Structure 1
Amino acid sequence: MNEAAAADGAEGTEPEVPEIDLPGDAFDAVLDALADRDPDDPLRFEGFGVARDAGADGEDGDDAAGGYRLDPADGDPRTGLTERELHAALADRAPAVTDWYAFERVVGEFGPRRAFLRWLEDADGATVATRYAALAEGIERAWGELKITATVTDRGERRYDVRHADDAGVPVDELDAYDDPLDARDLVKRDAKGRYRPLKTAPSLAGGWVFPDLGPRDAYEAVETIYPATVANWHREREGELDVNHWRETMARQSGIYGVVKTWDRGEGYEHVNWVAEACCDDSQCLKRREWEYDDDTDLDVDGGDGAFPCREPCSVVVSAARKWTRLESEQPRTYEFELTPSEKEQVEDIIDAVADGRIDEIREADTKEGANRYRTRFLRAKLFDDEGNFAGVPTDPDEDDEG
């Protein structure tokens, strides 16, 4: 089921809700919550509320005395309910009660974890009936390169399947299955070719694994391990509390070997920062959506991307790359003369584009029409490189070459 499925049922007739049993833990949690509330302060669920009955004889909650009241949203209150009668009334409304229990007691705190898990099933926009019907089939959500599927058991418990989106539909027994969310730390270290991934939000997450049966807290932990701080920053942005550190203030904090980056900001404008953002902060390179700019008053000229989770400041990969480019850009330009055919000029452009976009592996060896084709590129090297490896026979430093 796609992520919009939960919302679709709300537009028409109420969907058929799966049979849900009321677990003892959920009922006990209701009693505990009522014990701490005044009779005139009912515990509210979707469609009804329950409270201690101030008019009942005996101690509140005593099975013989009848110490509870049920307040339907569309009918007259039922008063003087015994604990057994209250249990029966709540069992008839088990989806609403277990929904309350899942988020209020199992998930708990009002923060990023709760907001994320509710977002997964559109809990703030769809009714319990709509969501439980959708959860019975499985509600799917995308988070970066992850596919997260939320389901519900016959006791109203949430279970989550977390895997790479490329493995959607693959049977669990054909993937490496894990149950400890901290195992994700090893899964994110290297890409499919075994290369180290310095940027955890790069679109290079390897697949072939699954966390098939996680509870709410473990599901959140797995996602935050795979994509650190993404849920937290997503939640801050939703709450209007995302603290953004722009380029200039971030670079002003750099020291030691990274302090050289600050020299780039001395009267040279911010064109170089556009180049950095275009190189590093594109959707093809990072799944975050860049929210930082040059400074509070100056936006960059390049798009920040379309990722679901925001990037609040230049990351360590950007800072490290900027340090290298700062040194390279400090070199004095020189004029070099090369003789290229029009096709060779276009081929050099094709090679640069293919490397920059990570498309080298997509170009087939037999497809010599492609400028970045391996054989065609080797032919260009054989034709234009001299024995010292100089392009078109022109040395990098012609003056030093002349002196030699």
Structure 2
Amino acid sequence: MSLENTPHRALRFLTAGSVDDGKSTLIGRLLFDSRAILADQLDTLEKRAAGQPIDLSLLTDGLEAEREQGITIDVAYRYFATKHRKFIIADAPGHEQYTRNMVTAAAGSDAAVVLVDITKLDTTALPVTLLPQTRRHALLAHLLRVPSIVFAINKLDAIEQPQAAFEAVRDALLGFTEQAGIQVAGIIPVSALRGDNVTQPLDAPWYGGPSLLQLLESLPTTQERDSGHLLLPVQYVAREGEGTGNQPRTLWGRIAHGQVKAGDHVQLFPSGEIATVAEVRRAGEVVDSCAAGESAGLVLDRQLDVSRGDWIATPQSVKDSNRFSATLAWLDTEPAVVGRKYWVRHGNRWVQARISSIESRLNIHTLEAIDAHELAVNDIGHVVIETQQPLPVESYEDNRVGGALIIVDPTSNRTSGALLVKAAL
């Protein structure tokens, strides 16, 4: 893709992979080479290095516990820009214990850079066996509909025969992604520590592709679908003026897809009531219309009982259901079991729910669906969910807002899983 055809919106991308694959160092290299480091940060790093090469991973490992343990725990967001584009980076943890944070970082990302530490792989035994976390993170990014997935094969500076090793790992990645149905945006050889092929092209006769930064500059951003029917989760209800009279109320939320203008008929969920849009507002001002991705305020032609958590849609375009099939990425140390009650959040609405059946579990090594009666931490499975009240769910494949829910344990209040709706039943 040429840069001329690339949208000017900032590219949101996450880095993922196994522990110590060099994710924080890679991000530090991008920040360092793009001059996105403040002078006092650089001075601190140089003093800590005491004449040795700067440890670029310290730019992202912001928590004290991260620096002490040498691992990334929380999702660290960083920002930098080149003359072609702005970037928002999410540095996701590699440890299995923090897979939930990787799922958080993937939500809303335009791209995922999955790092592969070539020093951890036996590149002489063909086909090369990939690490479980490499496969898991790529699968999760694919399931979460991250549009562009890039593999960065790191630490080539530590290999005696980098060309043969890179080609062996590349072939293993291509085999895995073809089997999993994952479209790959690129497989890039890099050395984050030395800076090879990160921001500047690799000076090697066996590689003629782009650097990692050149590839990232060319990737498209996710565009919300502004065609088709309207879907808007209500986040806030505001009433103008004083007192409790008939002042108009404005229903605010970020449009998931479609567009809305004055005069449109809309349906409210869960009530099912149909009304007409009298006025559309954006940033406090009356506008002609609003489209997907914009925060809009709707004033209806009549007073209805609407509160945070309700949904607004084009009439008859969405069917609410209290039973649906879904892919479940389980993130809790307590296993997911059939029949147990949980809280689920859909948009801004909370309802009680239970797992009515676990259909299968995905074997991340063979990519086969196998029988399962429960899902352990980091498992991915196919389940059927029943909710106490109907929800206007959509297929996650069609819309990432209407088709995504989180599961929360009512006892511990931990976020236990991410649900990606397949179909209402």
TM over 0.5: no
- Structure with higher helix content: 1
- Structure with higher strand content: 2
Q: Tell which structure's C-alpha radius of gyration is larger.
A: 1
TM-score (norm 2): 0.25
Higher relative contact order (CA 8 A, sep 6+): 2
